[in-house]
A and B are shown apart, each in its own frame.
Chain A
């Protein structure tokens, strides 16, 4: 792999994988999506005046691949979620991580994705709207409901302690 592209992968691999993993919630599929995202970035690496594909462009590619993945899944996924495990993390997880996982697990995939983009990856409402095609008002509303739900779960899990 060429050096600048390798640096590009290193710079964004956590973001891409994080997004993919929160949608698929399994390492294998998340890696597949992340790998394909970077292959596409490689194919367009010199197309941008910025010298490399911008973060939001890469993120959009990942989101589209996630959407394709969701479409291929059995309908059971959007309702009762499968277990929220794995994800390249060590097994010795503190209570907080387990509680956060449970809170994120309680969200539908779209809302979880919005939480990841806004709170974990730091994209603005406007950027998310451009990447997902979702109106800003809907993004704000879903984020509000997602935060409310996560707060309730984390409180029940002992956030008060």
Chain B
């Protein structure tokens, strides 16, 4: 007897088609055929088994290094916009250092603009010159802003520092 077997594509759709893939008539025809045909049943079973094997063994898990890499990258990305400020704060040039120091300590753009020519001039005298100008700016603004105790504190601190620097110069 010549039996018409189910073709591979129909079997595949029967096994892996989404709901509604086969209409009710088709589905019943496949089921009836499978019930009495061992050849097609075996073909279906092998197909399903092979796909289940792929589903079971096919996946790879993310290595632990991945989340670390993502963390690092994001840290870098969130820090990046702050970098110019950080770079200036750390000081690429003496002017940048002075600017930031003076700004953060003395309070105000005007002070810096005022002091800029003197800062630049001070650069030619090396570090002691620069520090002296900074201390002047800082002291000046603190004295303007603070009460008497703050003024005394600043005076003593600045005076001490200037003396220390002088001593170094004298030593040279």
Contacts and interface: CB of A to CB of B under 8 A. Distances in A.
A39 interface: yes
Given A38-B70, A39-B70, 14 more contacts: A1-B70, A6-B71, A14-B61, A16-B62, A31-B63, A35-B66, A35-B69, A39-B77, A89-B60, A97-B57, A100-B53, A119-B51, A120-B54, A159-B53
A53 B8 CA distance: 39
Interface string B59-96: 11111011101110111010000000000000000000
11 contacts: A17-B63, A17-B66, A31-B66, A35-B66, A35-B70, A39-B77, A88-B60, A100-B54, A104-B54, A120-B54, A147-B12
Contact of B18 (A120, A125, A150, A159): A125
B127 to A, nearest CB: 41
Contacts of B16: 143, 147
B122 interface: no
**What bracket does the count of chain A residues touching chain B fall in?**
35 or more
Contact of B65 (A31, A100, A147): A31
Contacts of B67: 6, 9-10, 13
Interface string A85-101: 00111000010110111
A119 B52 CA distance: 9
A150 B60 CA distance: 18
A42 B69 CA distance: 14
Contacts of A115: 54, 58
Contact of A119 (B49, B58, B74): B58
Q: Is the interface of B mostly helix, strand, loop or mixed?
A: helix
Interface in A128-157: 143-144, 147-148, 150-151, 154-155
Nearest to A37: B70
B115 interface: no
A14 B62 contact: yes
Q: Give the interface centre of B16, B61, B70, B74 by most chain A CB atoms within 10 Å.
A: B70
A151 B69 contact: no
A146 to B, nearest CB: 9
Nearest to A112: B58
B104 interface: no
A64 interface: no
A21 B58 contact: no
